[in-house]
Structure 1
Amino acid sequence: MFGNLTGAHLIIILVVIVLLFGAPKLPGLARSIGQSMRIFRSEVKTMKDENGDDTGSSSPNDSNGSNDSTPPKP
């Protein structure tokens, strides 16, 4: 999809971004994008850690020690 982009295309995109946001706002924009990416990565890592913990432990159905497939009756 982006394989056809050349250096000239990227320069045009950069010029359009500068015209839209203005040069003084670009550092703040880059900083906020960086913070957003950092938060996103930490959330993804947290989700992977939670999923990794679940796969390593026994399943909730085996927590009572019985191997019955029927649930206990009250």
Structure 2
Amino acid sequence: MNPAHLRAGTTATNRAEYQARAGTPGSPLNDIRGARGRAEALRAAARSGMDLDAAITAGLSPLDRDQPGLW
């Protein structure tokens, strides 16, 4: 965990930030497997030597999957 990215906030600001990030196409928060399913899939891919990009893409909806990269 990186404590440098943490900041104080209320439950309301946390929910608002989550909803804003979850609505962004391509966001990890849009993963159809959920947070735990995404983590387990990425861990399994890393352990087996599979392509991590493919494991990430597998959890995205077609809308999120087809978004062009920003960089």
TM-score range, shorter chain: 0.3 to 0.5
Higher Cα radius of gyration: 1
Higher helix share: 1
Q: TM-score, normalised by structure 2?
A: 0.32
TM-score by length of 1: 0.31
- Structure having greater relative contact order (Cα 8 Å, sep ≥ 6): 2
